[in-house]
Amino acid sequence: MKTKFLSLLIMCLVAGSVFAQANLNAYKYVIVPNKYDFLKEKDQYQLNSLTKFLFEKYGFKALMEGETYPDDLVKNRCLALKSDALKDSGLFKTKLTVELKDCNDAVVFTTKLGESREKDFNRAYTEALRDAFTDIEALNYTYQPSEAIATQTTVAATSTEQEIQQLKQELETLKAKEAEKAAAATVVPVVAVEKVEQVKDEKVVEAEVKEVMSSVLYAQEIDNGYQLVDATPKVVYKITKTAQPNLFMVNGENAIIYKKGDAWIIEYNTSEGTKQKELNIKF
């Protein structure tokens, strides 16, 4: 009976490891924070740098939070996992665990508690982190693109792209109609009026295309928040996180950005009072 129980336990552990590996293989990047909550300074004891090094050692493409991200990650934020190191209380041991979350802040993997009996903090944190990373090493990670994640991350982008393509198609249709009318046109005032109206319609559609393309702001993660970049690309706003997940402070301006229903709103104070504007933000 005891032998059967041990065999079943081993099978469960192996199955769990294989499942975790399959899950993590679908993600292309890992983002490492610049600072851990249990420490006072950025990259204190070089622990964040060590985290990035260990992820890269075991096959991941690791990026520090706030650095310039690859184009595919800018467009598809769910290609990356967000890493964190959590400290567990211990009287005689330093204990750390590494946690990985997806773009929706759902935990997808947690390592064992890495431990160290070292009294020196630098050595203790380093040793505990390396011990926790033995679980990451055991995954034998290899990136395998996932259609589900690609679909999840490109829904918003696809919607915007479809809107742009639809407007472009309308523009082409109007141009085709104008060409047909021009070929069969006779010199009468009515034709002239129609032509003027047609040109106006084209300009309206062209303006709508430009407006859609220029109005999209892509959120790039930086320290304690995001920078919102347009298609140029140019940084339009820098925003800082607050205690509320859907509320941000706008750096350098007397303004906030918050989510209202499915829309993002910027609200700012002017000499004429409070004003609001809807933003098209893609996180």
SS (H, E, C) the chain: CHHHHHHHHHHHHHHHHHHHHHHHCCCCEEEECCCCCCCCCCCHHHHHHHHHHHHHHCCCEEEECCCCCCHHHHHCHHHEEEEEEEEECCCCCEEEEEEEECCCCCEEEECCCEEECCCCHHHHHHHHHHHHCHHHHHCCCCCCCCHHHHHHHHHHHHHHHHHHHHHHHHHHHHHHHHHHHHHHCCCCHHHHHHHHHHHHHHHHHHHHHHHHHHHEEEEEEECCEEEEECCCCCEEEEEEECCCCCEEEECCCCEEEEEECCEEEEEEEECCEEEEEEEEEEC
pLDDT value at residue 7: 42
CATH topology of domain 2-145: Rossmann fold (3.40.50)
pTM over 0.75: no
Of 164, 165, 166, 167, the residue nearest 213 (C-alpha): 164
Question: What's the pLDDT at 113?
Answer: 96
Which residue is listed with tokens 């925003």? 239
Tokens 């993600």 appear where? Answer: 27
Give the residue from 105, 120, 128 showing the smallest Cα distance to 50: 128
Provide the pLDDT for residue 45: 94
Task: Please report how many Cα atoms fall inside a 13 Å half-sphere around the Cα of residue 222, on the Cβ side.
Answer: 15
User: Which pLDDT score, from 0 to 100, does residue 128 have?
Assistant: 96
Going by their DSSP bridges, the two strands 61-64 and 29-32 should be labelled as: parallel
The pair of structure tokens assigned to 3 is: 């032998």
B/e letters for 100-133, b = 16+ CB within 10 Å, e = fewer, are: bbbbeeeebbbbebbbbeeeeeeebbbbbbebbb
Q: What is the mean pLDDT for each group of 10 consecutive residues in the chain (283 residues)?
A: 44 40 83 95 95 96 92 89 92 93 92 94 95 96 86 50 62 73 58 54 58 73 86 84 84 87 85 84 86
Task: Say what the pLDDT of residue 169 is.
Answer: 72
- In whole angstroms, give the CA distance from residue 54 to residue 50: 6
Per domain, the residue ranges of the chain are: 2-145, 154-214, 216-282
